[in-house]
């Protein structure tokens, strides 16, 4: 049944019919023609043999009478519808009148030809249905005169013989065609059915379990179809494996690409990939931000269209030409920002070109500068007291020790400088602790009024000594959430600074304000004030507005830095307002309770 549905089977069958039917028909037709021709030729030969025999008998006739009798005998002895006529050139028939079935015209034509050529001729009467007639004649001499003996024979015998042969031929051809068709069917079936099984398998129409045996059967045939089948199954299995691994690889590659893109896009560093011709292949958002590359610049644009920094482009060019990594630090267009460029060439492979990484190193450089400043600041701060101590010691050792009064003065100076060193080191340690966050703060509810009163009392004597009036104003009580020791340090440093920078006759006020934004402490003085452009710098370590004078006044240069970091740790805001020659005002606002 499945063969009947097979297109290939019907194609082979159609081809068989197309080729075999014309071939057999042509062969049968050719053979039929040939058989008929052979039958006619035989018939003719036999007729001529009878004619020759008859002529021979007539030639032996001794007179016209015996010739006539002989003709009659010949005529009587003829079988199979044969007929004979004897005539002289004038149509005389010694055995009687000429008899003709064909009419005089036909016979006359045969006689004329025979008379002219003296040889046998064949006359074919037109029209196959009415039968053919063979006619043959011979001219001979008898009793001193020329005679024509003509014999005719219907071709029906020959036609009949050839017809029978044709029927036999047709039967044989039909049988041969049917045997051929059967063979074709068997051969086509053996080709088509395994192909159908393979096709079903390949289309996965057959479940995997079922198809195992069938496929095995086909591939076990041991012939070419079996080989093709087993090769196909192998191919199919390999393809299945390949598809699975390709799908897996595709999924993994997709995930890797997504991951890589996400990583590159979230990087702070700028990353640019270029090809050998310095055309952009990839630009991450970091690079766009750092190098101010607009959205109009996309992959395919030249690097110089995106970046217009000559040193940058030269470094890339050099790295590509020598095939080695190159770095460059340059000052970016933005004020005080430094970029570090690294160019890594990719020498081979489909992505040959370079990867460019740009990092903003401004902060690192700033930190380095701060560290340098800090080291030089510390060295400087330590140097002054140590120099004094060394000078005093030398003076004492070189004889001043003998003089009690002088010795005492020098020793006092040594003590004073040692105290200054101690304070400096304590301040540095505190700053380091506050900065690193290791200073443990106990944030609790405080009464700022009492605390401010304590600090004011502590500095009262110092203020009086300097002729400065120190007073507390504002709210008598003010609650805040903060660390008591930290607030005490903040307030002490601010009051100390205010007294130090206020000339005699001036005043320093500590004011408590119950502001809506939070409890606020203000330390205000009528001192020297700070130039406006330096207001941002006074919180840096060791920064002093009037260097020598501040140092003379015994400042470490760390007081305001400690205040700033403590305020940050307490989440309090610190602001300063100042006018040169009029005074300064430092405000600390604590978070709302
Ligand atoms: P110092 O120990 O030198 O006072 P600070 O860090 O406390 O160091 O202060 C830094 C600098 O700020 C001081 O050297 C001084 O020049 C300036 N300054 C601080 N407070 C005042 C103030 N109330 N009036 C004027 N200048 C001040």
The CATH number that applies at residue 475 is 3.30.565.10
Per-residue confidence (pLDDT) for residue 323, from 0 to 100: 94
Query: In what side-by-side order are the strands of the sheet with 270-275?
Result: 280-283, 270-275, 353-360, 338-346, 326-331
Q: Which of 86, 150, 154, 85 is nearest to 113 (CA)?
A: 150
| Pocket perturbation via mutation, ligand 1, pick of 378, 525, 555, 574 by most ligand atoms within 8 A of CB | 555
Whether residue 429 sits in one domain with residue 304: no
Residue 394, domain CATH: 1.10.287.130
What residues in the chain have per-residue pLDDT under 70? 1, 89-134, 155, 157-158, 199, 201-226, 229, 334-335, 547-554
Is the distance from CB of 495 to CB of 523 less than 8 angstroms? yes
The pLDDT, as a whole number, for residue 482 is 94
* Number of domains into which the chain is organized: 5
Q: How far is residue 553's CA from residue 468's CA, in Å, rounded to a whole number?
A: 15
Q: What is the pLDDT of residue 126?
A: 44
C-alpha radius of gyration, the chain, whole number: 68
Looking at 144, 169, 201, the residue that finishes a domain is 201
Examine the domain organization and report whether 109 and 224 are in the same domain.
Answer: no
Atom 20 of ligand 1 has which residue's CA nearest to it?
497
Ligand 1 mutation pick, 538, 575, 582, 586, max ligand atoms within 8 A of CB: 538
**According to the model, what pLDDT value does residue 142 have?**
79
Residues 183, 56 share a domain: yes
The pLDDT of residue 149:
80
Residue 204 to residues 52, 209, 218, 427, Cα–Cα distance (Å): 84, 11, 16, 84
575 and 494 in a common domain? yes
Tell whether 146 and 213 lie within a shared domain.
no
DSSP state of 279: B
Residues 149, 210 share a domain: no
CA distances from 577 to 142, 443, 444, 555 (A): 173, 28, 29, 21
Name the residue at shortest CA distance from atom 19 of ligand 1. 497
Q: What is the pLDDT of residue 483?
A: 94
- Which of 356, 380, 408 corresponds to the end of one domain? 356
212 and 180 in a common domain: no
Same domain, 213 and 255: yes
State how far the Cα of 98 lies from the Cα of 86, in Å rounded to an integer. 8
Residue 421 CA to residue 423 CA, distance in Å, equals 5
Q: β-strands 145-154, 133-142: how paired?
A: antiparallel
Distance CA 358, CA 26 (A): 90
**Alpha carbon distance 23, 152 (integer Å):** 38
Q: 511 C-alpha vs ligand 1 centroid, how far in Å?
A: 19
pLDDT at 543: 84
Cα dihedral sign for 452, 453, 454, 456? Answer: positive
pLDDT at 492: 95
Task: Tell me, yes or no, whether 392 and 467 share the same domain.
Answer: no
From ligand 1's centre to the CA of 426, what distance in Å? 18
Phi, psi of 487 (to 5 degrees): -65, -40
Please tell me the predicted confidence (pLDDT) of residue 272.
96
153 and 51, same structural domain?
A: yes
Tell me: do 20 and 147 sit in the same domain: yes
One-letter-per-residue 3-state SS of 506-537: CEEEEEEEEECCEEEEEEEECCCCCCHHHCCC
Classify residue 325 by its DSSP letter: -
pLDDT score for 124: 52
Q: Which atom from ligand 1 is nearest to the alpha carbon of 555? A: 2
Nearest CA to ligand 1 atom 16: 545
* pLDDT, position 111: 63
pLDDT score recorded for residue 133 = 65
Which amino acids bring their CB within 6 angstroms of ligand 1?
493, 497-498, 501, 525, 527-530, 538, 543-546, 550, 555-561, 584
222: tokens are: 């041991």
Ligand 1: which residue has its CA nearest to atom 14?
Answer: 544
> 120 and 173 share a domain?
yes
Q: What pLDDT score does 548 carry?
A: 65
Q: How far is the CA of 326 from the centre of ligand 1 (A)?
A: 46
Residue ranges making up the domain that contains 459: 444-589
- The last residue of a domain, from among 397, 414, 436: 436
Residue 262 is predicted with a pLDDT of 92
Q: How far is the CA of 586 from the centre of ligand 1 (A)?
A: 11
């Amino acid at each position: 049944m499945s063969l009947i549905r097979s297109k290939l089977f019907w194609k082979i069958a159609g081809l068989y019919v197309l080729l075999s039917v014309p071939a057999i028909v042509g062969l049968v037709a050719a053979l039929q023609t040939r058989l008929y021709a052979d039958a006619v030729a035989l018939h003719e030969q036999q007729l001529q043999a009878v004619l020759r025999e008859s002529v021979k008998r007539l030639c032996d006739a001794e007179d016209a009478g015996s010739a006539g009798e002989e003709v009659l005998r010949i005529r009587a002895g003829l079988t199979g519808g044969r007929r004979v006529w004897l005539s002289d050139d004038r149509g005389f028939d010694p055995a009687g009148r000429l008899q003709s079935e064909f009419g005089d015209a036909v016979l006359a034509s045969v006689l004329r030809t025979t008379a002219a050529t003296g040889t046998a001729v064949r006359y074919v009467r037109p029209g196959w249905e009415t039968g053919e007639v063979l006619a043959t004649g011979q001219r001979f001499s008898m009793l001193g005169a020329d005679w024509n003996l003509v014999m005719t024979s219907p071709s029906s015998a020959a036609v009949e013989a050839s017809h029978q042969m044709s029927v036999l031929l047709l039967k044989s051809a039909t049988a041969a065609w049917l045997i051929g068709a059967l063979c074709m069917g068997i051969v086509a079936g053996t080709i088509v059915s395994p192909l159908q099984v393979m096709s079903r398998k390949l289309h996965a129409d057959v479940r995997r379990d079922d198809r195992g045996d069938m496929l095995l059967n086909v591939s076990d045939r041991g012939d070419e179809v079996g080989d093709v089948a087993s090769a196909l199954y192998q191919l199919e299995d390999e393809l299945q494996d390949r598809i699975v691994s390709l799908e897996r690889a595709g999924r993994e590659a997709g995930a890797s690409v997504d991951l890589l893109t996400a990583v590159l896009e979230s990087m702070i560093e700028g990353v640019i990939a270029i090809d050998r011709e310095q055309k952009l292949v990839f630009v991450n958002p970091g690079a766009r931000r750092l190098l101010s590359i607009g959205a109009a610049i996309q992959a395919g644009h030249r690097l110089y269209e995106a970046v217009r920094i000559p040193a940058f482009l030269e470094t890339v060019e050099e790295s590509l030409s020598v095939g080695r990594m190159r770095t460059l630090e340059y000052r970016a267009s933005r004020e005080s920002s430094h970029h570090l460029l690294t160019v890594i060439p990719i020498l081979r492979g489909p992505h040959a070109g370079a990867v460019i990484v740009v990092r903003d190193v401004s902060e690192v450089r700033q930190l380095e500068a701060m560290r340098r400043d800090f080291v030089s600041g510390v060295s400087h701060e330590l140097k002054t007291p140590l120099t004094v101590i060394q000078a005093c010691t030398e003076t004492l050792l070189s004889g001043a020790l003998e003089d009690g009064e002088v010795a005492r003065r020098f020793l006092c100076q040594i003590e004073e400088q040692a105290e200054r060193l101690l304070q400096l080191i304590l301040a540095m340690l505190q700053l380091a602790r506050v900065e690193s966050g290791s200073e443990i703060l106990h944030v609790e509810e405080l009464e700022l009024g009492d605390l401010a009163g304590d600090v004011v009392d502590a500095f009262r004597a110092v203020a009086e000594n300097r002729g400065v009036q120190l007073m507390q104003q504002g709210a008598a009580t003010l609650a805040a959430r903060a660390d008591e020791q930290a607030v005490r340090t903040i307030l002490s440093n601010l009051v100390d600074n205010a007294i130090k920078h206020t000339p005699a006759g001036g005043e320093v006020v500590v004011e408590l304000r119950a502001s809506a934004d939070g409890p606020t402490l203000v330390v205000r003085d009528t001192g020297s004030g700070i130039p406006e452009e330096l207001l941002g710098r006074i919180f840096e370590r060791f920064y002093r507005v009037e260097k020598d004078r501040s140092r003379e006044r015994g400042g470490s240069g760390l007081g305001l830095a400690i205040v700033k970091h403590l305020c940050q740790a307490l989440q309090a805001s610190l602001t300063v307002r100042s006018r040169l020659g009029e005074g300064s005002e430092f405000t600390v606002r604590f978070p709302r309770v």
